[in-house]
Amino acid sequence: MDLIIALPALIVGAALGYYFAGHRANALLRELELSVARLEAEKAATLAASASTKTEFEALAAAALKNNNESFVALARQSLEPFQQRAAHELEKREKGVENLVKPLTEALARANEQIAALEKQRAEAYGGLLAQVRQVQEGQALLGSETRNLVNALRRPEVRGRWGENTLRNVVELAGMLERVDFDLQQTAADAALRPDMLVRMPGGGTVVVDAKAPLDAYLEAHEARDDATREVALTRHARQVRERMQNLSSKAYWKQFDSSPDFVVLFVPGDHFLAAAYERDAALQDDALRNRVVLASPSSLMALLKVIAYGWREHQLAENAEQIRGIGADLHARLVVFAEHLADVGGALDRAVKSHNAAVGSFDSRLAPAARKFVELGVEAKAELPKLEPSEQRARPPRDADSTDA
């Protein structure tokens, strides 16, 4: 930036130097021209004063003018030549200075052009890659749109929609940690053979939660394919009405009366939060009316919460059963410990009696048998070994202590 600013200043300085040198030369020429004008005036005056000397004067004036002109021209050349040389020298120096200043700028511009070319190449490559990614996204969107249309067309068939709802329900229950035929059953017939709920979820204590997965989705699918807002709004309003009709139908079946210990409600499973949200938006009283009719409208998220509560109840029930078993095992262990303590006390009594018998035998040996044996030795019977010295035992069996007693 400094070089770009200094360059015009140098060019202006060189031009001003050249201008002032030329201006001085022009001043000298004007002085010469004025001198020539004065001589011509003097010549005219001389011609007017003396006509007789006109020819001689003219010759002298012409010679003087010629000499003066030649002198002035020589003087002018002599005066201007150093200025011209200096001006040319200064101009040459300034041209070299400008060239030295411009050369780094030229090199910098060349490097900038190279960088711009490299950036342009990178931009072209990046743009090509971006175009490829955009093309892939477009292809993916087209494929997604095609798959969505296929899914919508498939869901229009009642049997496909029923299987999809049942599979979604199964996935939610399994994600909640429940097992089929252990925690839930599918397609079990109720007491009324005409009633067959989609799922029965077992509760702790023998209760059963009935779940129905036949939520109506026809109107919602029509709203999804609507071309304008008015048609879409009409279809969504019909969707809310269909959900209400399904809720009333389930309430009239009274599933909770068909199973023992069943809660007095039935769950209507809607396989998507957006399906249920659209119905709530068009029918604000739908949820309250469903609860009054003992029907719980459940999306995957809310059903997951309900199943988690039931699973937690199962864990608590299992803990309670385990605690009861532990209490029975503890009572049985305590009874066995009492019997064992009695046996151990009998063993201790037997040991005490054995010690008493041992001490009595030692006393009999020392007082009766040992003196008789010594008399044999005194009479000359050769003894192969000396009689051992027996000591009475002072140990007694330790009686069992009560559980509440402590060591001394």
| pLDDT at site 408 | 37
Residue 291 CA to residue 396 CA, distance in Å, equals 78
Render 107-144 in DSSP notation, one character per residue.
Answer: HHHHHHHHHHHHHHHHHHHHHHHHHHHHHHHHHHHHHH
Of the CA atoms within 13 Å of residue 248, those in its CB half-sphere come to: 8
Rg (CA), the chain: 64
| pLDDT at site 289 | 93
Which residues make beta-bridge pairs with 200? 185, 210
Residue 294 CA to residue 308 CA, distance in Å, equals 21
Instruction: Give average pLDDT by consecutive 10-residue segment, the chain, 408 residues.
Output: 55 57 64 71 65 62 68 67 72 75 77 86 82 78 60 56 73 76 66 70 80 85 84 91 91 80 84 88 92 90 84 77 83 84 81 81 78 75 72 69 50
pTM given for the model: 0.44
- Positive or negative, the CA dihedral 35, 36, 41, 45 is positive
Q: How far is CA 33 from CA 27, 29, 80, 394, in A?
A: 10, 6, 15, 164
| pLDDT at site 173 | 81
Ordered by start, the domain boundaries in the chain are 2-137, 156-298, 325-403
| pLDDT at site 237 | 92
Q: Using DSSP, how many helices (H) and how many strands (E) does the chain show?
A: 9, 5
| pLDDT at site 21 | 57
Identify each DSSP E strand in 73-229 by its residue range.
Answer: 184-186, 199-202, 208-212
Tokens 């709920």 found at: 197
| pLDDT at site 19 | 57
Residue 350 CA to residue 26 CA, distance in Å, equals 156
